[in-house]
Structure 1
Amino acid sequence: MPEHSQDRVETLRVRRAPKISVFLIAGAALGLLVAMILTFAFDGTSQVSPNTGVEYSQTQVFGFLALICAPVGIVLGALVALLLDRRSRRHTHEVSVDHASVQVDPQSGADEDRR
């Protein structure tokens, strides 16, 4: 079977980059944890709101705090990921890669299929 092969050596840069999605999820989880701690640390649910005259339950307070703390946590996680990504650009390594490609002649493959 006739083949045509080519070999070439290339130099590539390799670096370890953080997965940004992991940092975003961790930031959101940290924000929810902070919201939960703030909900149970300060017992403001037994008081009536002075502006609206409504009394909020702990679940509602947690929801309000989660709406604030989760996006803040996501932003902080993104900032940490970007800082680590920038730091990883300084620590690149160059590697030599042997790139081989083999091409099979289509007519010779068709001949073997007929046999």
Structure 2
Amino acid sequence: MADEPRRPDLRPPARDELETVTVRRSPKYSAFLLAGAALGILTALILTFGFNGSAQVSENTGLEYSSGQVFGFLLLIFIPVGLAVMGGIALILDRTSGRRTRQVRVDHSLTRED
């Protein structure tokens, strides 16, 4: 007879096989960073089309920028600022939630698909 693979023991663990682990919640950084980028885009959009700053620049320097150029410049400034602000908020929330950890007892289970 060929050697058959050993099947794992599927009995429930004994009481002393339970393990204690630490559980804590943490924020989703990707959601905070996406919100920061969106906030930066919205701020750049409001500042570009809410105020007519290009007319004042052209009077003083003789240079004139289109609204698209102004929007691009402001995007280069406000997207990183939004990422930094929302990333900082996520870090602060992660640090404060780290204080509210709890201990739970878990057991190991094996599942096998044939």
Please classify the TM superposition score into its range, dividing by the shorter chain length.
0.7 to 0.9
Q: Secondary structure at the match of 1:21?
A: helix
Select 1:69's aligned residue among 78, 83, 90. Answer: 78
- Structure 2: runs of 5 or more not aligned: none
Select 1:38's aligned residue among 41, 44, 47. Answer: 47
- Structure 1: runs of 5 or more not aligned: 103-115
Structure 1 or 2: more strand by fraction: 1
1:27 pairs with 2:39: no
State the TM-score, normalizing by the size of structure 2. 0.77
Larger Rg: 1
- 1:56 is matched with 65
Q: Secondary structure at the match of 1:95?
A: strand
Please list the CA deviations of residues 32-55 of structure 1 after superposition, one character each: whole Å capped at 9, or x if unmatched: 10111111221022341744x321
State the TM-score, normalizing by the size of structure 1. 0.77
- 2:93 is matched with 84
- 1:106 is matched with none
Select 1:93's aligned residue among 74, 97, 102. Answer: 102
- 1:9 is matched with 18
Q: Secondary structure at the match of 2:53?
A: coil
Which moves more between the two structures, 40-49 or 11-20? Answer: 40-49
Question: 2:52, 2:8 → 1: CA distance?
Answer: 77
The size of the alignment, in residue pairs, is: 102
Q: CA RMSD in A?
A: 2.3
Moved over 6 A (4+): none
